[in-house]
Every structure is written in structure tokens, then in C-alpha cells.
Amino acid sequence: MARKLTAGPFSDPELLILASLAEGQKHGYAIMTDVLTFADVELGPGTLYSAITRLVEMRWIEPCQPSGRQRPYQLTPAGGRHLQTQLAKMRNLAKIGLKRLRVI
């Protein structure tokens, strides 16, 4: 069963969208299904488009040529750098947390 967006690293819809677009350009519905697949998180349509609006304003993603009624989005170089920084921080945090729990 898919988790709702609550707390934790998966609670940031912007990061989930950036991670989804790291694979290549996608439109809104494709992002939703991809996030559900790789993160097991169900993004609501309203939440998805609010996050897309913010990401476009921050120039971390950009719209491509529309295909039918849908418009695909792709990562910008700045968006890619931001995603890389955030993921590196998360990896660091996970490493320290697991070490302190004596899991690794």
C-alpha cells in the first residue's frame, strides 16, 4: 500500500519530482506513477502541481514542448546540482545514522 506524504525524507515532493526527472523528461501523470513506483509515495495531484510550480519558479525544472494536453518537464543543470547536493546530504545522514545504530 502506497504511503501518504507525511514526514521523513520522502515528505519533500520537490525532491521526489527532481529524482523522478533525473531519469529524463516526464509529464505530471508519469511523475506521479514513477514516484509511486520508486518511493512508494502517492503524490496528490494538487501537491504535485504546487511542487511543479515552485520548481519552475526556482528554475530547477523547465517545461518542454507540450504533447497533447500534457506538458513534460525536464531537469535544468541547476536542478541537477541541487538534487545531487541533497542526495549527498541524505547519504551522509544515512551513513552516520546506520553507523551509530551499529547496523554497518
Partner 1 sequence: MTGRVQAARILLRAYPASWRDRYGEELATILEGRSLTLPIVLDVLRNGLLQRIRCAEAWQIGGIVLSTWLVVGTALNSVRPFPGWAYDLFWQFDSCILMAIGYLSISRDRKSLLAAAVATGRAALVGIIPELVLGVLWMAGLVHPTILQPNGSPMILGHGITDLCIRAGVAVPPTHMLLVPLAAAIPAAVVGALGAMAARFVSAFREGLRPGNIR
Site residues, partner 1 (CB under 8 A): 4, 27-29, 32, 44-50, 52-53, 69-71
72 vs 87, beta carbon nearer partner 1:
72
Could you give the residue ranges of the DSSP H alpha helices within 26-76? 28-39, 45-57
49 vs 99, beta carbon nearer partner 1:
49
Shortest distance in whole angstroms from residue 92 CB to partner 1: 28
25 vs 87, beta carbon nearer partner 1:
25
Contacts of 28 (CB under 8 A, 6+ apart): 45, 48, 49, 52, 70, 71
Shortest distance in whole angstroms from residue 14 CB to partner 1: 14
The answer to whether 33 and 43 are in contact (CB under 8 A) is no
